[in-house]
Amino acid sequence: METKKGVLTEIIFHNDENGYTIADMETDDELLTVVGNLSSAAKGTCFELTGTFKTHPRYGEQFVFTEAKEVLPTSRAGIEGFLASGIIKGIGPKTAGAIVAKFGEETLQIIEKQPERLCEVSGIGSKKADVIAASFAEHREFADVSLFFQGYGVSAAQTLRLYKGYGKDAVSLIQENPYRLADELYGFGFRRADEVAARMGVAPDSPFRIQSGIRYGLMSYVSDGSTFVPQEVLCEKVAQILDLTREQVKDELVNMAFTGDVQLDTIRDEQVVYLYSYYLAEQKVCRNLVAIAHGDLKAPAADIKRSIEMTEKSTGLHLSEKQKSAVLRAVTSGISVITGGPGTGKTTIINTIINVFEESGFKAAIAAPTGRAAKRITETSGHYASTIHRLLEYYYSEGMDEMQFGKNAEDPLDYDVVIIDEASMIDLLLMQSLTEAIRPGTRLILVGDSDQLPSVGAGNVLTDIIESGMIQTSRLTEIYRQAEESMIVVNAHRINHGEYPTLNGRDTDFFFMERSSEKEIQRLITELVTRRLPAYYGVDSVGEIQVLSPTKKGPVGTVELNGILQEACNPASPDAAEKKFGDHVFRTGDKVMQIRNNYQMEWKIPGVAQSGQGVFNGDVGFIQAIDNEYGSLTVLYDDERYVQYDFSQLDELELAYAVTVHKSQGSEFPVVVMPVSWFPPMLATRNLLYTAVTRGKRIVVLVGSENRMRAMIDNDRIRLRYSGLQDRLGRMMEFEETDIGKEESVWDDRDV
């Protein structure tokens, strides 16, 4: 191993994610190409690198380093180059020259220990001097933190997150408890923290390790949708992960219960463990639902029967007696649920309910969990719908340094009625925030298809509410006459009932195309998207056709399909700018999806000079421009909203030529194409296929093995989610029963 000390004279390549750097370095007597990981790399900075020379078959001799220590320059030229690099805020090349001309080789000592003297330089005032001093101190602190953690294999990007989270205390805090990496900082997993802890000499039976392992075990179940875990199941799993005994895990679990990190409880005579936030959420949702259900309701002034008749005349649709009953129950109840599959008239019922309330002068709000779902409701119902987050006025609180809801128990929603569509997508924590913002006396109407996939987040909210038997529920099973003409609707209901769909009839909108191998499936899907469907139906191959897949991985998963479809629909060309980010290549014209909620992201509508904030998980748009010089990428959403991403934010985007069925929830597409092949049993389920089919509005095409499709329909195993809401709600509602009596106060018409 050799050590080389010099100044970086040219940055050939630097990856901000992992710190991988290729640069030219000038030492006292040679010019080197150096390769390795640097947390920050800027032209003019000085490093002491430890490594060995290796010969690259294409690029020749390189100095490959494994350790790097930033050192401050001592010569006037070195100091000026360092300051002129832009790494210190408030100093550019001109200011750097002026400072060094004034203080010479003492410049860095002046900045560090006597920053007020910077005001002796023309053009620098006290505020600018403070900025320079603070930036220099931060840079030195980060260099020290980076040097320490590189010895433990922590990547450059992770080191930066550490420093942002803990500042100069990062080293001491992580030395005290390395499991803070997993427990408190986003982007570190337990396995990674465990490796760092082992290098630091933390004992395998350390309480820090066991507690972090318990949190990791609980969070793995939360990620799969559960709100609690049976105690014996959790202890067994964590003991296997840590290679310890169940008794050691159980002892530490009891200690965590005493400190309030977890909550021990009994559900259906079984000892269970909650992360405390989810235990509290279940308690609050139950209490809130009970309060809303028993609130004093303002009676509508309108004649409900006449309002129904007016809706029928204006829409040309006739409501059945059972659908009229569903309207009546929604209008007269504190809380009600309307559930049913496609074509059963949910939208017509919502419109009828709104008409009743509007005639009575009631204020009604309509919302859905996602932006795409809200937009679809607005288009189909004619009434404005927002996201639940926007309804609750989600905002960033600078004082709390976190996102919060403006509408809550202290400042509730000012509506007489709140209607939530696509309610199957609501997870427990969102339901907590929603119900806290609804005051008793406000009607809450939940509309959704309980047979679709449950929420991505933890909880089984809609199904638990229905199955508790304590909330008035209207189940719609009758298909409207107009919907009966669609084989998409008919086959969706057949799939949901465990029956095989009718395939490839004349004048149909539902097709199955048999292919035996995954390569053949890939080729046919590409051909359908790029040529056959656009030619026959006149649809746009990218804008109106959506490929769905049950999984991200494998030959017919979204990752590989996106690469294939990108090259087929939007191939590389000299006219299309590109940006490589991780494993993705983003290209002008690409179809992309926002994969997490970002409520601070700004958007603009240039033609009307309108702007706002908020881009949401599941929003789909098209890349309009990529500016590699300034490091930005612009996406157009909904054909009107322009959003500019800094390159550092590109982890919020994915290609969207193909998306998972889970990501498609709440959306409708003119044409849906889906591969049907072997998938893991937990994904190859009836309700996943049902959810995918119900996303198609005009055409649905399944490509693959009919036997695999039939196996999916036969697989009615819904992935087990541990949830206590149903049991807890049932017990709480029984306790709160009013003088009306249970038989009169509970409606669950399973035949509606």
Taking the alpha carbons at both ends of the chain, their separation in whole angstroms is: 78
Structure tokens at 126: 């006290």
Beta bridge mates, 417: 364, 443
| Sign of the torsion formed by the C-alpha atoms of 255, 261, 262 and 264 | positive
Burial of 680 (0-12, 13-18, 19+ CB in 10 A): exposed
Q: What does the alpha-carbon distance between residue 738 and residue 375 come to, in Å, rounded to a whole number?
A: 39
Q: In one letter, which amino acid is 540?
A: D
Cα→Cα distances 718→44, 226, 477, 688, Å: 59, 13, 21, 9
| 345 labelled binding-site residue | yes
Structure tokens at 641: 């909203």
Contact 208, 252 (CB under 8 A): no
Buried b (16+ CB within 10 A) or exposed e, 332-351: ebbbbbbbbbbbbbbbbbbb
Quick one: DSSP state of residue 684?
S
Count CB-CB contacts under 10 A for residue 246. Answer: 17
Q: How many CA atoms lie within 13 A of 252 on its CB side?
A: 21
Listing DSSP states for 242-258 in one string gives HT--HHHHHHHHHHHHH
Phi-psi region of 743 (alpha: psi -120 to 50; beta: other; left: phi over 0): alpha
Query: Which residues are CB-neighbours of 548 under 8 A, at least 6 positions away?
Result: 658, 659, 660, 661, 664, 672, 673, 674, 692, 695
Q: What does the alpha-carbon distance between residue 424 and residue 728 come to, in Å, rounded to a whole number?
A: 19
Strand 443-448 and strand 632-637: the pairing is unpaired
Q: What does the alpha-carbon distance between residue 173 and residue 168 come to, in Å, rounded to a whole number?
A: 10
| Sign of the torsion formed by the C-alpha atoms of 416, 743, 269 and 719 | negative
Query: Which residues are CB-neighbours of 52 under 8 A, at least 6 positions away?
Result: 1, 2, 63, 64
Which alpha helices (H) appear in 410-455, and where do they start and end? 428-436
| 347 labelled binding-site residue | yes
| SS3 category, 473 | strand
Count CB-CB contacts under 10 A for residue 414. Answer: 10
φ, ψ of residue 215 to 5 degrees: the values are -60, -40
| 344 labelled binding-site residue | yes
Beta bridge mates, 663: none
| 343 labelled binding-site residue | yes
Q: How many CA atoms lie within 13 A of 378 on its CB side?
A: 13
Q: What does the alpha-carbon distance between residue 447 and residue 380 come to, in Å, rounded to a whole number?
A: 14
Maximal C-alpha separation, the chain: 94
Structure tokens at 175: 């030395």
| 346 labelled binding-site residue | yes
Listing DSSP states for 713-747 in one string gives HH---PPP----HHHHHHHHHHHT--TT-HHHH--
Report the candidate in 680, 654, 676, 684 with the shortest Cα–Cα distance to residue 556.
676
Structure tokens at 431: 């339901």
List binding-site positions: 343-347
List binding-site positions for ATP: 343-347
